[in-house]
Amino acid sequence: MSKAKVIDGKQIAKVVRESLKGKINTLKEKGITPGLAVVLVGEDPASQVYVGMKEKAFKKMEMVSETFRQPADISQKDLITLIHKLNADDRFHGILVQLPLPKHLDEQTILDHIDDNKDADGLLPASMGKMVLGMEGPLPCTPHGMLMLLKHSGIETSGKHAVVIGRSNIVGKPIANLLLQKRELGNCTVTLCHSRTKNLPEICKQADILVAAIGSPEFVDSSFVKEGAVILDVGVNRVDAPDRKRGYKLVGDVNYSDVEDVASAITPVPGGVGPMTITMLIYNTVYLAENTL
């Protein structure tokens, strides 16, 4: 079997962003520039990098993006007060609180104060409930981006067996639900696996579509993969690489070199699922702006 087709997230992200420009221009003609408010608490390096990438992407799309940087020791009361101000600010159609937050802050309590109509991440209870029921609403960015990767790669989902490794609220549960639904890019039979699953390789080897979202470097090898399977690798893990200038490299949850001769298509790390997450954040912000008309 030839090497797996590379699902190019960077290229597909460009295509999706290009498709949004017409909607953005239409909104601007009506006096609305889609806007996102990002709340960043503390100095977490990974969060700083990620927020910078968001700012750059929104600027390139000629949308509004403002980051509200707060000290790591901000009180829960003061942070909630800020979110209430952003809820009332018409410049912002979406609000995103960058996670993780410092340990003295209760993440769920803080997120619950975001207006449901400004849920840019698609992860608030109201949005997740609509997703589960198949109702229209903002979808979680990473899972939605994964569906776009399948769509633009011409990969059929209907009737396929999808196996998801990982049960997080951000990726595992939502992508399992979306693939299960009676909808375009759905209609899969879905198995959701996790750290307590027995005979994991044997179960994964049944998958036509295998989603790896467990946060364990190169955990999935060829013993997990059925010949011809499509693999979506959500993992982003730093591992030591003394020969690299930075001293580390990024790898996924899948051992790419071990599975590329078995799979039919695979997302690389970096450059696969990652670029789609910010793209779908842009998508959600445009969607929320349209809903204000």
Q: Could you give the strand order of the β-sheet that contains 209-212, starting from the edge strand earlier in sequence?
A: 5-6, 265-266, 230-233, 209-212, 161-165, 189-193
Per-residue pLDDT at 245: 86
Q: Which of 148, 102, 142, 146 lies closest to 121, judged by CA?
A: 142
The catalytic residue among 8, 118, 119, 121 is: 121
Q: Does the active-site annotation cover 98?
A: yes
- CATH 3.40.50.720 range(s) for the chain read 140-274
Distance set, CA 222 to CA 193, 206, 225, 238, 268 (Å):
17, 13, 5, 21, 15
Per-residue pLDDT at 145: 98
Q: Coil, helix or strand for 281?
A: helix
- Is the distance from CB of 227 to CB of 179 less than 8 angstroms? no
Averages of pLDDT over each 10 residues, the chain, 293 residues: 91 98 97 98 89 94 97 98 98 96 95 98 96 96 98 98 97 98 96 96 98 96 98 92 87 96 97 96 98 93
- CATH 3.40.50.10860 range(s) for the chain read 31-115
Q: Which two tokens stand for residue 32?
A: 């609305």
Per-residue pLDDT at 45: 84
pTM over 0.85: yes
Type of residue at 84? H
Q: Assign residue 160 a region (left: φ > 0; alpha: ψ between -120 and 50; beta: otherwise).
A: beta
What CATH number is given for 31-115 in this structure? Answer: 3.40.50.10860
Q: Which of 20, 290, 276, 1 lies closest to 138, judged by CA?
A: 290
Q: Does the active-site annotation cover 54?
A: yes
- Is the distance from CB of 149 to CB of 267 less than 8 angstroms? yes
Per-residue pLDDT at 241: 86
Per-residue pLDDT at 130: 97
For domain 140-274, give the fold.
Answer: Rossmann fold (3.40.50)
- Strands of the chain (E only): list them: 5-6, 35-41, 64-70, 94-97, 161-165, 189-193, 209-212, 230-233, 237-240, 248-251, 265-266
Neighbours of 265 (CB within 10 A): 20
Between CA 213 and CA 194 the distance in angstroms is 9
Handedness of CA 204, 240, 13, 213 (dihedral sign): positive
The catalytic residue among 8, 98, 160, 173 is: 98
